[in-house]
């Protein structure tokens, strides 16, 4: 069995009792960064062996992992924060397990875009999750496509590119498009800012920006 186990995006209290039990019971934990994961595991007295599994080695390690899983090993896959496979490693191994007939269970749990979407106050009955935009090639094409969507859309962004992203949203979606920026979700300095894209540019243009960023943007009005 491969368990996909979400881990807290900030506040350690957000981990589930089931996640703690699974991480204690499996034979091996696959971690995006073992140094980061050890801090979480030590906090909850989890002593299960760790092995690195990330975007840079997954193509090479997955075949052997499949053989071990087929040999009755139980493993858990975690990333540095949030749900594996959502803008994090996880898809490649999960697909390989499905193709090889290895059972996969994904536990419910933390992911950044859901609280950001709900916090935004924008329509959440239908939405588009974009994740990270391309840094260069294809970025403008994606922004044009997103600008025409009639539903709320969600972006992940680094603090270093937040202002650039907001200015591009103003260019392609209009400066008066409603949006919300969530920063440092679940952490001590969590911030949620609402307004038009222009108001958000003005707000964040006067401060030093830190932390993980989620941008939620209203869909185009019909």
The pair phi, psi for residue 178, each rounded to 5°, is: -75, 140
List the domain range (segments joined by +) for residue 161. 113-217
Average pLDDT over residues 50-71: 96
Residues 187 and 138 in one domain: yes
By the 8 A CB rule, do 83 and 109 touch?
yes
Last residue of a domain, one of 106, 123, 157: 106
CB 162 within 8 A of CB 155: no
Q: Is residue 31 part of a domain?
A: yes
**76-97: pLDDT as tens digits:** 999 999 999 998 999 999 999 9
Examine the domain organization and report whether 160 and 184 are in the same domain: yes
As to burial, measured by CB atoms within 10 angstroms (0-12 exposed, 13-18 middle, 19+ buried), residue 118 is: exposed
pLDDT, tens digit, for every residue of 83-134? Answer: 999 989 999 999 999 999 999 999 999 999 999 999 999 999 999 999 999 9
Q: Which of 57, 73, 106 is a domain's end point?
A: 106
Q: Provide the number of structural domains found in the chain.
A: 2
Report if residue 63 sits inside a domain.
yes
**Closest Cα partner for 49 from 73, 72, 71, 14?**
73
What local confidence, expressed as pLDDT, does residue 222 receive? 82
**Domain end marker among 60, 79, 106:** 106
In this structure, the answer to whether residues 120 and 145 fall within a common structural domain is yes
- Summarised one tens digit per residue, pLDDT across range 147-172 is 999 999 999 999 999 999 999 999 99
pLDDT in tens, 16-56: 999 999 999 999 999 999 999 999 999 999 999 999 999 99
């Amino acid at each position: 069995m491969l368990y996909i186990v979400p881990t807290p995006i900030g506040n350690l209290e957000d981990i589930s009792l089931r996640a703690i039990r699974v991480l204690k019971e499996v034979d091996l934990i696959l971690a995006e960064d073992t140094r980061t994961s050890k801090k979480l595991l030590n906090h909850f007295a989890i002593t299960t062996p760790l092995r690195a599994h990330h975007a840079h080695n997954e193509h090479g390690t997955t075949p052997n992992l499949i053989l071990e899983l087929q040999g009755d090993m139980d493993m858990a896959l975690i990333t540095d924060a949030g749900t594996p496979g959502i803008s994090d490693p996880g898809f490649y191994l999960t697909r390989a397990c499905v193709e090889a007939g290895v059972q996969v269970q994904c536990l419910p749990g933390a992911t950044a875009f859901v609280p950001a979407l709900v916090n935004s106050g924008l329509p959440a009955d239908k939405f588009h999750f974009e994740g990270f935009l391309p840094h260069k090639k294809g970025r403008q094409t994606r922004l044009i496509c997103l600008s025409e969507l009639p539903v709320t859309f969600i972006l992940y962004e680094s603090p270093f590119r937040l202002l650039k992203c907001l200015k591009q949203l103003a260019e392609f979606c209009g400066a008066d498009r409603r949006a919300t920026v969530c920063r440092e979700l679940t952490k001590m300095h969590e911030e949620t800012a609402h307004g038009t894209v222009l108001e958000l540019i003005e707000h964040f243009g006067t401060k030093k920006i830190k932390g993980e960023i989620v941008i939620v943007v209203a869909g185009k009005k019909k």
